[in-house]
Structure 1
């Protein structure tokens, strides 16, 4: 199966048609399983067919819901997601179907088959299949409502693009190419939006404190107030669901299938990171505050409206890194080409541009091959610039789950980068997100849909992407594509200064991440009448930056939906990523033996083994906290 949008019928009609066909195929497959299950391997194969049908339709609907420029198509995709979710919930609560798996004889299966069967049984019990009819009906209603709430939450974020209007003089200090792309309107004002290609440069380089603060307030208030009520209901339903299926909290429910194991361990991890980051975070905050006081002697603290701007000044004046000079080396087209060259060399891949029928002219599509055998690995689509109605952050979306001998994996990278010069932070983000895409493609060659691609525990999935960020910080790697307008590669000493400057502020960043992680945990564990008030308390406890009055950042914190109570996973994965990187030779990041072993033992495995076992196989030992602590202490 290869993804192609049709040209002969409306896309919304095609989505509805394809969804109906997939649901019918799934229903037929379930009926066969219950009627003539056969042996254990037959049961797994039958369920695999059902999963492929439902997963294929769901993946395409999810992508088009977030990416297609036509709201009619996005609405049709949302409807398809609801129908698939309802059907899936019905299957998870089908006792007759569960009995088919409960009766399957494990002794007839190989180790991978046993692992799959146990995962499927666990999915059913976690869904509440063993509860009484009234409880199952309530679970069914909760699941259906949670899908709608999630869709409404995401739609509000996509559509709530806010802005401020400023006089051209306010743009003093911003990069010339950015200023040229933002001409004044007929009234003589420039509009600056809360989309990332605007808010990041403006926050970093605009010298006007009032304008920076005005934009930051708008940015933090996206989705407010409508998403506040949606989140309250979503959190309440998740807490109720967890209780109905036998867990003390939603955090315990979600942690059970992750490396961390339980909700209490989440809090312990958050506090461990917060304590480890305190000293460096407070030191860096004091440095930023000292620089702020040169302009505003009365300042008593630093908040998010000033942090990016004054951090850049510290990096420029004290650490010899001028971010505006740095960005002249990162032209988008060169960066994209460099990304493909670097990852191709590292992972032994070749990318061939193709013409594909997708959802927008911005999308660049490539067939991916193993360089040594020329066997096709899969297909990728890069949708990297912002537009109205598009997903506002950066993420990898699945289009097709790879099944060995059956269908090649296919994935999408969705980002929101400038078409011209990029900040180096954006380059790092691009490498990070591409790491998910490579994981999906290389890991998409398993026989079982359940284990295809990025199918590991959810608190491990970021580790391969965080590892790939290291290549965006290496001077020799960057010099292969980062050149200025005259063709000169970025200087080695500038990259060294950038790396030193990157170390500045990481304690502050870690503490902020733990604030977000604590918020995601407590919002799902306890009920609060006022989410903003609780947010303020947690920010005071964990973040080293104060709350900005009259803001409500939780309403735009998309990870409260997707990661729910598990936002800690970003930092948990980073601990593992730093340990994984210790196996590479920093003098030769492309050393083929290590790179090949990493591709085969971490990426290609998909979800066929527990993440801890993958890490142990690659490192030759269990994962350790030591590499992360050493990095944080720099």
Structure 2
């Protein structure tokens, strides 16, 4: 019911799972987009870079020594005065538990008063926010803080509060009170649509927690949930477990196109006087897959890279069966049916409508790309016409290269990219980013920079803490953490919580102070709100005096735009209830704003914002094109989404269910590249745990984002009118409105509003390869 914390630091988006990560083909087959000169064209002047915009360049690009915090002020973590040391986080946890229990008692008494019943949804959301405010902060600390003592305290806080939350999730009394609210027509009419949406989130979470089952079956539900969690962790460990090496004979590497690596491998073989052991994922393995003319070593490296032990397969299949059993226990046909009930897709049948349409729509491009690769293979091996492209051929005949911008650009420093983001947000929303000194003790590392998010009429509407540089012990990849959500607070009515009944008032003081820091009254806005606070974690290279500013590769620029799409959703998604604020929305909707942000990087008008002195847009080169090999990767992702549905269907309860056979059958019946005997890639499909039955989500949002870009923004991507429309139709609602109604409104497509099977088919026929063919993000 209240477990919103898990929605913050999402696992990597599905694109990361691909064995084939995109490519640029050989220059005589397809033309590369890099290295061209771009022309300048006359267009409507853009808004010049402001003083604050230019300050972002200085902030991120000029190496500094010592702390970035202000020496004139002192506070605790994230500006909370009490959080000056790890012990304070433990005290805050204890105080939060005391207050949460009092608020729980109040909700349980709600049927004693009509006025209290009207406040039940508000108080459930307050209870959720009370717990999640500390859980979400602790989640960030235990992932990002360099001090082990802080991490230990955060782990304690996280586990203690989640344990209490789990008790609430199966609390029959709370469920009965909520049921009384949702069955009262007068209350439903009074509380309004956003409150109803919030109430339904609580209701569905209760229902999925076996609240209606007899005690013995509820105990079974809890046991199964624990087993699934343990199995999931074991499965994830297996995903990253190194695979055994492939044995390669030195003579099989003759003719390597990569002469430097090839010579080193041959010398290594001559020195050791034995076959080479090539480990999957190593530089040697990548070089062989891309550059070995003999396909046999490529085949063996591929098979080794996609192998599994019987134990790994058993762990996966046991997890899938336990999920199916749990779903049947609560009355669902399958885990997919249970999971998708409150998503945009609504049912696995609708997901399959979408995926089938997407396969049919993507297939011609895939066939065209494979035909080109087949011609290469025919010429290379002097075979009869159109030899079959095997899985181990893909990288050799279409070797991956780093993605490149659509026009030639100078090196882009981290500060330049943030400056461009601020300029883009000012054009679209009247919002900009402003550097501000963090107080001493406010941040967890000297690398962390604090940015104010400033609205031109309301002033500061939130904060972004940017922790962008790699360091030992810090998680890899990129992530957006929601540490604090928007929520209206002036109507909390805390006086009725009976806090005065707590024997020692000092025992809850930390919680009262913690909550007080969150609250702000903005100009031209009714009420008092919590202002959102998010953290961006990346692992870019740190600038230095010797190397200068951090220069981002193009895929890193895309990553930053993607994560800032999440951040702006958090900032603009200003709702009265924290359970539907910003990115707290359906799994298959949450990536839409972030993927749309990547599309802006295809616009020469937007790219002109990287030059702080530019007020004119650039012209895109007429030779720019999309790499057709991306279609192969996209199709493979569609197949994995289909496999995810099979693995979470009723079929897993069949005593003869075999995950490898199902993967092989799907690949051979719907795939474009044949299944390779002896492989079992499914044990490396890590998203089967975190994204179980929802792996299609990124594809769905890619399709919708492409449509929104093409139909709304592509011709005028700096339009304030269009930005305000997108903000009003999509971003401001967070998860407080049906996503299909939002998508239907922004696209002026009433046929989508119902979100039925036909709507899913329609989206499946949309183009999703509008140059956003890049590795996945959080």
Matched, 1:273 2:397: no
Superposition deviation, residue 61 in structure 1: 3.4
The residue that corresponds to 1:521 in the other structure is: 645
Give deviations 1:185-219, integer Å, cap 9, x for gaps: xx9xxxx9999xx9899679964579988987787
Aligned-partner SS, 1:513: helix
Give deviations 1:523-578, integer Å, cap 9, x for gaps: 22233765344333333344434456665543343322222111111222223223
Superposition deviation, residue 596 in structure 1: 0.7
The residue that corresponds to 1:501 in the other structure is: 626
The residue that corresponds to 2:484 in the other structure is: 400
Aligned-partner SS, 2:450: strand
The residue that corresponds to 2:344 in the other structure is: 259
Matched, 1:437 2:559: no
Aligned-partner SS, 1:631: coil
Superposition deviation, residue 107 in structure 1: 1.3
Deviates more, 1:297-306 or 1:400-409: 297-306
Contact 2:406 2:602 in 1 (8 A): no
Q: Distance in 1 between matches of 2:284 and 2:724?
A: 36
Q: 2:369 is matched with which residue: 278, 284, 303?
A: 284
Give deviations 1:588-612, integer Å, cap 9, x for gaps: 2111111111112200111121111
Q: Distance in 2 between matches of 1:604 and 1:201?
A: 47
The residue that corresponds to 1:601 in the other structure is: 729
Gaps of 5+ in 1: 175-186
Q: Distance in 1 between matches of 2:256 and 2:150?
A: 39
Q: 2:691 is matched with which residue: 563, 568, 578?
A: 563
Superposition deviation, residue 326 in structure 1: 6.3
The residue that corresponds to 2:129 in the other structure is: 52
The residue that corresponds to 2:169 in the other structure is: 92
Deviates more, 1:42-51 or 1:141-150: 141-150
Q: Distance in 2 between matches of 1:402 and 1:620?
A: 28
Q: 1:365 is matched with which residue: 450, 453, 462?
A: 450
Matched, 1:137 2:222: no
Superposition deviation, residue 627 in structure 1: 8.0
Superposition deviation, residue 365 in structure 1: 3.2
* C-alpha distance 355-293 of structure 1, shift in aligned 2 (>3 A): farther
* C-alpha distance 270-388 of structure 1, shift in aligned 2 (>3 A): farther
The residue that corresponds to 2:108 in the other structure is: 34
Aligned pairs for 1:147-226 within 5 A: 147-150=229-232, 207=291
* C-alpha distance 417-301 of structure 1, shift in aligned 2 (>3 A): farther
Give deviations 1:105-163, integer Å, cap 9, x for gaps: 44132323333334322322232211111111122223344444555555676797999
Q: 2:465 is matched with which residue: 381, 403, 425?
A: 381
* C-alpha distance 48-163 of structure 1, shift in aligned 2 (>3 A): farther
Q: Distance in 2 between matches of 1:250 and 1:33?
A: 31
Contact 1:367 1:376 in 2 (8 A): yes
The residue that corresponds to 2:180 in the other structure is: 103
Q: Distance in 2 between matches of 1:80 and 1:145?
A: 23
Deviates more, 1:211-220 or 1:96-105: 211-220
Contact 1:401 1:449 in 2 (8 A): yes
Matched, 1:239 2:324: yes
Superposition deviation, residue 279 in structure 1: 1.2
Gaps of 5+ in 2: 1-75, 261-270, 272-277, 489-527, 543-549, 753-758, 771-778
Give deviations 1:467-519, integer Å, cap 9, x for gaps: 22210111232243289xxx9x998455x544x124x2343233112111012
Q: 1:615 is matched with which residue: 743, 767, 776?
A: 743
Q: Distance in 2 between matches of 1:139 and 1:391?
A: 33
Contact 2:292 2:396 in 1 (8 A): no
Contact 1:89 1:143 in 2 (8 A): no
The residue that corresponds to 1:473 in the other structure is: 602
* C-alpha distance 152-433 of structure 1, shift in aligned 2 (>3 A): farther
RMSD: 4.6
Q: Distance in 2 between matches of 1:159 and 1:20?
A: 38
- The TM-score with structure 1 as length reference comes to 0.80
Greater share of residues in helix: 1
Q: Distance in 2 between matches of 1:256 and 1:631?
A: 26
Q: 2:665 is matched with which residue: 537, 560, 569?
A: 537
Q: Distance in 1 between matches of 2:317 and 2:99?
A: 36
Q: Distance in 1 between matches of 2:202 and 2:360?
A: 39
* C-alpha distance 627-515 of structure 1, shift in aligned 2 (>3 A): closer
* C-alpha distance 579-252 of structure 1, shift in aligned 2 (>3 A): same
Contact 1:78 1:151 in 2 (8 A): no
Superposition deviation, residue 358 in structure 1: 3.9
Matched, 1:447 2:576: yes
Superposition deviation, residue 275 in structure 1: 1.5
* C-alpha distance 292-386 of structure 1, shift in aligned 2 (>3 A): farther
Q: Distance in 2 between matches of 1:585 and 1:564?
A: 33
Aligned-partner SS, 1:453: coil
* Structure whose alpha-carbon radius of gyration is higher: 2
* C-alpha distance 530-208 of structure 1, shift in aligned 2 (>3 A): same
The residue that corresponds to 1:334 in the other structure is: 416
Q: Distance in 2 between matches of 1:628 and 1:593?
A: 29
